[in-house]
Amino acid sequence: MSIIDSVRNALVPVHREGYRFVAIFFGVSVLLGLIAEPLFWIGLVLTAWCAYFFRDPERVTPLDDDIVVSPADGRVSSVVRMQPPEELGLGSDEMLRISVFMNVFDCHVNRAPVAGQIVRKVYSKGSFLNAELDKASSENERSGIVIETERHGEIGVVQIAGLVARRILCWSEEGEILDAGERFGLIRFGSRLDVFLPAGARSLVSVGQTAIAGETMLAEFGSAKGPVVSRRD
């Protein structure tokens, strides 16, 4: 492999949602450089961070209908059983909720935890509390989708705003069919993703564990069946 190939493989593409922000950061850097040269270099560092924030790497997703993958990069902040948000329409019974908290250095492209069809999409206005707080799931501004799976019923996925996050993007719509690991949204800048799973789901992660969107197996239905086939995306 040549040096050029090595560099190309090491570079991670920037998601299209980040293009204008990178351009703005660079433009401001140039303007600051006209005032004082050191300000340009500071701005250039911030521009590099902006590009890093909006990175969109390929992921290798397990292809198994009994596996639930992480919808976000970050740290598993909660594994509990509780009622899902009322707006999701998932009923009043407790479900397994697994939360993944994203800081400003994590990749913020969100991916579908399971394959299925989006049967509901809801947006709820709210506060901008620390996304790590348990009450953030019901009080913070959030966007939720409900995915109908072939074998395990409906699964809820909620993007939750935080102290810094002020913009939740969910470009997938009701009726759309998603593959596990497929990109469906993005949050700026730092927040949390909750996954609500019905009876029969068993958590495979612990609080404090690092999760990788589209790759880390958060939970499974039934017992393990050995090696799992994967897809690169």
Active-site annotation, residues: 191
- Which H or E run contains 96? strand 95-102
How long, in residues, is the chain? 233
Are the C-beta atoms of residues 82 and 99 closer than 8 Å to each other? no
The neighbour count for residue 21, using CB atoms within 10 Å, is: 17
Query: Which strands sit side by side in the sheet containing 67-69, from one edge to the other?
Result: 67-69, 217-221, 201-203
Euclidean distance between the first and the last CA atom of the chain, given in angstroms as a whole number: 22
Separation CA 166–CA 48 (nearest Å): 21
Separation CA 223–CA 205 (nearest Å): 15
